[in-house]
């Protein structure tokens, strides 16, 4: 069984697979969910000390919990797929919403709302460089052949 890393236990003693299962319906084992919690903790490390204005450690733990649910949702392993048989007919539900990054699930969108630092929302985004040129400067550019 996959155990939670020491950092998760120290920061969020009440966070475990059962806490994640309170917000997401999944067939994953506790050990599998613990792996997602550990990954969410590692992703959320940059938030350490950044959330004082929006709840501190409690918010940090909530973010890790909801981020774990988001990771389950977008996992290629199908952890976010639920199937059930109703009157002999099978139905399948997908929990992803088709966006990118944290926008791919309602769990990720909740993480963005809780993160008052904005750090998680900006992970993986490239910085844009913008240069302003006057018309005279554009005329001085060499012609392309």
* Cα gap 35→4, rounded to integer Å: 7
Phi, psi of 124 (to 5 degrees): 80, -5
pTM value is 0.74
- Please tell me the total number of residues recorded for the chain in this structure: 145
Q: Which of these, 62, 73, 6, 90, lies nearest to 36 by C-alpha position? A: 73
3-state secondary structure (DSSP) of residue 71: helix
- List the chain pLDDT tens, one digit each, 145 residues: 589 999 999 999 999 999 999 999 999 999 999 999 999 999 999 999 999 999 999 999 999 999 999 999 988 764 444 445 555 555 444 444 456 788 888 999 999 999 999 998 887 654 444 455 555 655 665 666 5
User: CA distances (Å), 85 to each of 25, 27, 77, 82, 92, in order?
Assistant: 16, 15, 21, 10, 9
Q: Domain boundaries in the chain? A: 6-139
């Amino acid at each position: 069984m996959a155990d939670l890393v020491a950092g998760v236990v120290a920061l969020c003693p009440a966070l475990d697979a059962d806490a994640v299962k309170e917000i997401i319906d999944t067939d994953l084992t506790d050990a599998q969910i613990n792996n997602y919690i550990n990954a969410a903790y590692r992703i959320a490390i940059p938030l350490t000390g950044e959330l004082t204005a929006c709840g501190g450690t409690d918010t940090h733990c909530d973010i890790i919990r909801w981020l774990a649910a988001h990771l389950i949702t977008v996992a290629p392993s199908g952890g976010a797929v639920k199937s059930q048989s109703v009157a002999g007919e099978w139905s399948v539900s997908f929990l992803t919403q088709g966006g990118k990054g944290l926008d791919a699930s309602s769990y990720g969108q909740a993480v963005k709302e809780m993160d008052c630092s904005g750090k998680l929302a900006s992970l993986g985004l490239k910085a844009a460089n913008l240069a302003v040129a006057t018309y005279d400067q554009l005329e001085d550019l060499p012609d392309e052949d």
